[in-house]
């Protein structure tokens, strides 16, 4: 590929930015890989695109620093009292304190607290909550919410921050979300920015900005749905996900309530319903958003992984209500590359 002078200058700026942010020297193959990723950027046609290439460099720098510094060992997280008197272990938190690995943070109906997730972000713990610090540092950071709620704001590489619940584990993909768990271990995840992967009971649900998902103890995560879905839609989906009777009737009610914003629900339902019902889900999904060329009805109904993956790639941009900026997309892509090495 022929690189214009502007492209060379932009790439040099990007690499210089990375150089200023490097704290530890990464392995040569990772560094070379990031340079290759930057070098693949389309040759700029205007001065403005130099800033785009530089943004890619900053994204790569963040990914590198994340890889080689966020894994540092920590044995506790800082706590800030927000209201009332939270309790960490057996210690009442009057203003500030720390929560160690293996300790529980508990709030009563009048107290709230903020946990600092190292350098990765924060988690606000709501009233009536019981939250355990499972892992404070290392390759992952993990909390367990036994009951209550957290409001997480995470600036971290994907899959660094996990939240366990009795029903499922929320794997953060860089986002802002709230998680509520009732006394029976059931709960709801609502994502406002980014994406969260819910895992448990052999199920996996991708919950993106503007969508939510229920969780049921002993079952796992439910199917993601648009936050603005109608009450009838949500009640039908609850029966499909967790009910034992009336699932076919519920599917009919749900399909009647679907629109373009519901394609995330329909795609997730394809492998979760019976073969006869799968045909109905496919037909409604195809009517809302036709499958890409080469993705056949028979392949989808047979749950061919490649066909499902291609259709998901085509649908994915319409699922989130968030408009992800270029720098954030670049950061995620370069981080994924670095972690994969």
101 and 144 fall within a common domain: yes
> Does some domain include residue 16?
yes
Q: Are 275 and 282 a contacting pair, CB within 8 Å?
A: no
Domain boundary among 194, 222, 250: 222
145 and 190 fall within a common domain: yes
108 and 151 fall within a common domain: yes
Is 89 buried (19+), middle (13-18) or exposed (0-12) by CB count in 10 A?
Answer: middle
122 and 16 fall within a common domain: no
CA distance 311 to 121: 33
- Give kind and range of the element (H or E) at residue 91: strand 91-92
Enumerate the H helices of 130-211 as residue ranges.
none
Domain span including residue 53: 5-69+326-340
| CATH code for the domain in which residue 185 is found | 2.60.120.1440
> Does some domain include residue 298?
no
CA distance 327 to 333: 10
37 and 126 fall within a common domain: no
* Per-residue pLDDT at 339: 45
* Per-residue pLDDT at 157: 73
147 and 195 fall within a common domain: yes
Counting the structural domains of the chain, the total is 2
pLDDT tens, the chain, 341 aa long: 444 454 445 445 544 544 444 433 444 444 454 445 445 544 444 455 555 555 555 555 555 455 444 445 567 899 999 999 999 999 999 999 999 999 999 999 999 999 998 777 899 999 999 999 999 877 788 999 999 999 999 877 778 889 999 999 999 887 899 999 999 999 999 999 989 999 999 999 999 999 999 999 999 999 999 999 999 999 999 999 998 788 889 999 999 999 999 999 999 999 999 999 999 999 999 999 999 999 999 999 999 999 999 999 999 989 988 875 544 555 555 544 444 44
> Does some domain include residue 276?
no
Q: What are phi and psi of 225, to 5 degrees?
A: -145, 155
* Per-residue pLDDT at 334: 52
133 and 44 fall within a common domain: no
Which structure tokens are listed for 269? Answer: 């339902």
31 and 109 fall within a common domain: no
> Does some domain include residue 99?
yes
145 and 188 fall within a common domain: yes
Domain boundary among 204, 222, 240: 222
64 and 140 fall within a common domain: no
44 and 113 fall within a common domain: no
Domain boundary among 222, 244, 277: 222
| Cα 268 to the center of its chain, rounded Å | 16
94 and 206 fall within a common domain: yes
Q: Are 54 and 17 a contacting pair, CB within 8 Å?
A: yes
């Amino acid at each position: 590929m022929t690189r214009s002078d502007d492209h060379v200058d932009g790439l040099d700026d990007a690499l210089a930015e990375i150089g200023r942010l490097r704290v530890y020297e990464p392995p040569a193959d990772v560094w070379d890989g990031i340079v290759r990723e930057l070098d693949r950027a389309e040759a700029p046609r205007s001065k403005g695109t130099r800033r785009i290439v530089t943004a890619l460099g900053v994204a790569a720098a963040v990914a590198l620093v994340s890889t080689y510094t966020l894994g540092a060992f920590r044995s506790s997280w800082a706590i800030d009292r927000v209201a009332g008197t939270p309790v960490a272990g057996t210690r009442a938190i009057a203003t500030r304190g720390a929560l160690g690995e293996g300790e529980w943070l508990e709030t009563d109906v009048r107290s709230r607290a903020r946990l600092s997730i190292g350098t990765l972000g924060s988690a606000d713990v709501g009233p009536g909550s019981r939250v355990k610090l499972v892992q404070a540092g290392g390759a992952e950071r993990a909390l367990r919410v036994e009951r209550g709620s957290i409001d997480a704001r995470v600036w971290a590489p994907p899959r660094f921050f996990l939240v366990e619940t009795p029903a499922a584990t929320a794997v953060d993909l860089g986002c802002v979300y709230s998680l509520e768990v009732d006394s029976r271990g059931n709960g709801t995840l609502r994502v406002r920015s980014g994406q969260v992967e819910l895992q448990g009971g052999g199920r996996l649900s991708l919950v993106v900005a503007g969508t939510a998902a229920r969780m049921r103890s002993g079952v796992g995560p439910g199917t993601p749905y648009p936050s603005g879905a109608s009450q009838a839609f949500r009640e039908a989906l609850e029966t499909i996900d967790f009910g034992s009777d009336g699932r076919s009737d519920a599917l009919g009610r749900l399909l009647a309530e679907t629109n373009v914003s519901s394609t995330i629900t329909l795609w997730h339902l394809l492998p979760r319903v019976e073969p006869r019902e799968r045909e109905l889900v496919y037909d409604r999904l195809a009517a809302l958003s036709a499958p890409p060329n080469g993705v056949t009805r028979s392949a989808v109904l047979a749950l061919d992984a490649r066909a499902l993956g291609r259709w998901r790639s085509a649908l994915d941009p319409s699922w989130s209500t968030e408009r992800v900026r270029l720098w954030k997309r670049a950061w995620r892509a370069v981080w994924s590359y670095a972690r994969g090495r």
